Amino acid sequence: MSFFISDAMAQGAGGQSGGTLELILPLPLLLMFGIFYFLLIRPQQKKAKEHKNMVEALGKGDEVITNGGLLAKITDVDENFLTCKISDNVEVKIQRHAIASVLPKGTIKNL
C-alpha cells in the first residue's frame, strides 16, 4: 500500500524557523505601495500644488476658464471670490478654487 500513499515522516524537533521567509513576505506589499506612491499619489500632490499656486497668483485683467467651461476676464479680486466679466454688462462672482486654467491675454478677443 505504500506504493500509492507516501509514508509520513516526522519533522525534526527544534531548529530555526524560516528567517528569510519572514523578510520576503512583506516585500510585495512594500513594492505595491511604492508603485502607487510614484504613479498615483505623488503626481496628484504635484498637480494640486500647481493649481494652488495658480489660484493664488490670479489678478485683475487675467483671462480664465472656470470648471464649468466659462471664459471670463477677472475684473475684481477678493480673498475667496473673483468678480469676472463673461459678456458685455454681465459680471459674475466665482470662487477662486473654481478656476480651471489661466489663458494668455487677448484670447477672449480672438474668439
What pTM does this model have? 0.70
Say how far apart CA 106 and CA 111 lie, in whole Å: 9
Strand order, beta sheet including 63-66 = 90-95, 81-87, 71-77, 63-66, 99-103
Q: Is 20 helix (H, G, I), strand (E, B) or coil?
A: helix
| CA pair distance 104, 61, nearest whole angstrom | 11
Q: List the chain residues with pLDDT less than 70.
A: 1-19, 21
Pick the CATH number of 59-111 from 3.40.630.30, 2.30.30.100, 3.40.50.1260, 1.40.20.10: 2.30.30.100
Residue 93: its H or E element: strand 90-95
The 10s digit of each residue's pLDDT in 64-96 is 999 999 999 999 999 999 999 999 999 999 999
**Confidence at residue 27, expressed as pLDDT on a 0 to 100 scale:** 87
Predicted local confidence at residue 3, as pLDDT: 66
Residue 85 is predicted with a pLDDT of: 95
